[in-house]
Amino acid sequence: DIVMTQTPLSSPVTLGQPASISCRSSQSLVHSDGNTYLSWLQQRPGQPPRLLIYKISNRFSGVPDRFSGSGAGTDFTLKISRVEAEDVGVYYCMQATQFPLTFGGGTKVEIK
């Protein structure tokens, strides 16, 4: 199985300041078709997960442009340019390159 490791576990952030979450995979997420199926999900308290980013850096419909994704191979990053109160929650990376599909352990974003 591909292990997805996220850091930090928790990220206290001041409103309006940036936040960054790292996700590292135990092996390359480059699929045989040349694509990298790494996505980012947000889970607000008491809510189901919500797709933010797919294929490393593509923002899903309706996602604010303060969210951005980057990376390649085994190292990926989700950045929030200016954290807003509604961004509080747990963020997960997920790989769909190889079965079984796997998730990172989650990073909790909270307001200082």
Residues that bind another protein (CB under 8 A): 1, 35, 37, 39, 41, 48-51, 54-55, 58, 60, 92, 94, 96, 99-106
Side-chain-side CA neighbours of 11 within 13 Å: the count stands at 24
Closest to another protein by CB, 61 vs 65, is 61
- How many whole angstroms separate alpha carbon 58 and alpha carbon 67? 10
Give min distance, CB of 51 to another protein, in A: 5
Angle at the Cα of 29 from the Cα atoms of 24 and 35, rounded to 5 degrees: 135
Is residue 92 within 8 A of residue 6, CB to CB? The reply is: yes
Q: How far is the CB of 36 from another protein (least distance, A)?
A: 10
Would you say 66 or 105 has its CB closer to another protein? 105
Q: Nearest approach, Cβ of 24 to another protein (angstroms)?
A: 15
